[in-house]
Structure 1
């Protein structure tokens, strides 16, 4: 005889077992992640405060998107080697050794320092409009003509060391809101040029990332409305002290800007 109550019980038990199996599999997958965070100051979390004492001048922050993701997801291993001021050569010479064949997840930002980010910003803040435009033009020429080969070397090395890893290359945001108000700041001509340089840099990076078969994570839309001169809810420092934190994401920029984009990539 058909017993509805028993059938329901069997079905419910099967459903619970299926959900338990799914949960167990998901947990096992999360537990199997071996994560390495490479890159420059934007990945180290310069500007976000709470720097790890053992990171020295690299200024790795517990508020950096990589550290936040690790805390939230508890990977099997986490190696955080991003460093302030890093260029592509620094990744190859000092950071790539953190990768292993067992590495399953890699993140990085790199290329801005190679293209002269710091010196360009200094010129634009202290110099004339024409000085700024010339500096941006020089940086863009470098990004278009020289940086692709340097990025390719980094991406090839990552692929060689960790062939099975999911590699997420994070982009750079626009720094300024055009037409926004700052009590002290640069004009829209300079702001537009600096944002254009970010577009050029991101375009070059995204192309090389695609060629490598990696994932490019674009943060520009997420940062929209939170740029310098964009209002009270700004996710980026303007000129600040310590000076090396200028034009870097603050803790909100890391947690609300970079982290969700990385997490969805």
Structure 2
């Protein structure tokens, strides 16, 4: 009809816009998940090993379980048993091989990072080995670690805070669009007297170590909030699953064959994976 205005349909308009941009549509963003951490992330003994020798990285640890559910386009688990915060930026030499600096896996294309670190900086596993009570009234942990009016666990937690802060800043600098989750440590020890002989510690030392682990988790949560990351609480969900229960997430000093001593077992890895997934599916903040 003479005088009628030409009609441009939405598909035609989109085609024109694409033609004006060279006729190519931008590729959708690819998801890349990187898992960083120590042995509570690598989960020694819980499944087939992968990665460099000496890292005791299991293919059934919580990062692998998370990746199996999220199905990112790319997944890199560079966690390693014995890792400290220093090993995020430096190579970690083990008795069997060398793990490159973990942060090398974090690139600008990374969209999700989980970080489980700090326990080895504080020294919890080493301290726990020295806590075995040889008599009914012994409190070797508290006596040794608070001698001279000091509290070595508290001091180490304070010193580790700055290192975690630096690590989070470096992750943000390397992957500006990544969502970063700091994964806390699960409940290990029970409230009360414990369960000798399976757990050869007395109540006073158990309470002291529980408080120390609680302070580590509180510090990790604080640093996450202060540096644009999110904290994943695994202590709460595992509160009824300490080493003295039949549904433990973490094995005792004498594990039943599916994990390293005082480390997460298969149940623990599943529980930690669920905690991570719940946070991923929630609104950031």
Question: Could you tell me how far apart the structure 1 residues matched to 2:134 and 2:225 are?
Answer: 36
Q: What TM-score does the superposition give when structure 1 sets the normalisation length? A: 0.81
Comparing 212-221 with 175-184, greater Cα deviation is found at: 175-184
Count of residue correspondences: 232
Corresponding residue for residue 131 of structure 1? 140
Alignment of 1:4-19 (within 5 A): none
* Cα pair 2:238 2:249 within 8 Å, conserved: yes
Corresponding residue for residue 216 of structure 1? 231
Structure 1's consecutive aligned runs of 4 or more residues displaced over 4 angstroms after TM superposition are 126-129
- Aligned-pair CA distance for 1:174: 2.3
1:227 aligns with 2:236: no
Corresponding residue for residue 57 of structure 2? 60
Structure 1: 5+ residue stretches without partners:
1-27
Alignment of 1:92-103 (within 5 A): 92-93=89-90, 94-103=101-110
In terms of fraction of residues, the more helix-rich structure is 1
1:177 aligns with 2:190: yes
Corresponding residue for residue 5 of structure 1? none
Among 53, 66, 78, the residue aligned to 1:81: 78
* Cα pair 2:30 2:109 within 8 Å, conserved: no
Corresponding residue for residue 151 of structure 1? 164
- Aligned-pair CA distance for 1:43: 1.0
Corresponding residue for residue 196 of structure 1? 211
Structure 2: 5+ residue stretches without partners:
1-26, 91-100, 280-285
Q: What TM-score does the superposition give when structure 2 sets the normalisation length? A: 0.76
* Cα pair 2:139 2:204 within 8 Å, conserved: no
- Aligned-pair CA distance for 1:173: 1.8
- SS of 1:36's equivalent in the other structure is strand
* Cα pair 1:100 1:161 within 8 Å, conserved: yes
Question: Could you tell me how far apart the structure 1 residues matched to 2:112 and 2:196 are?
Answer: 39
Question: Could you tell me how far apart the structure 2 residues matched to 1:126 and 1:101 are?
Answer: 50
RMSD, matched Cα: 2.1
* Cα pair 2:187 2:241 within 8 Å, conserved: no
Closer/same/farther in 2, CA of residues 87 and 126 from structure 1, 3 Å limit: farther
Closer/same/farther in 2, CA of residues 183 and 121 from structure 1, 3 Å limit: closer
